[in-house]
Amino acid sequence: MKSNWTEFNTSIERDFSFESFQDALKFVNKVGQLAEIQNHHPDILLHGYRNVKITLCTHDKGYQVTSKDYRLADGIDRL
């Protein structure tokens, strides 16, 4: 688990900040593409026009954190 992800009982989360709305939106789209490839879809919140909050949990496992979440988090960290 990367130290920049916060772990809760039922999810892991990370906040990202960008220089502009366009940069934040591009990041969201890249996360979406990665999520499709991994067939594991995060909750994504674009807020404050340039901030993105990613929340990961495995919905089909009762909203628990699983290896799918850590794998996607690692992929997101590489974007």
Question: Would you kindly state where each structural domain of the chain is located, as residue ranges?
Answer: 6-78
- Tell which CATH classification among 3.30.1360.20, 2.60.40.3080, 3.30.2420.10, 2.120.10.30 matches the domain 6-78: 3.30.1360.20
The tens digit of pLDDT for each residue in 23-51 reads 999 999 999 999 999 999 999 999 999 99
Whole-model pTM? 0.92
Is residue 73 within a helix (H) or strand (E), and if so which, with residue range?
helix 67-78
Closest CA relative to residue 65, chosen from 54, 77, 55 = 55
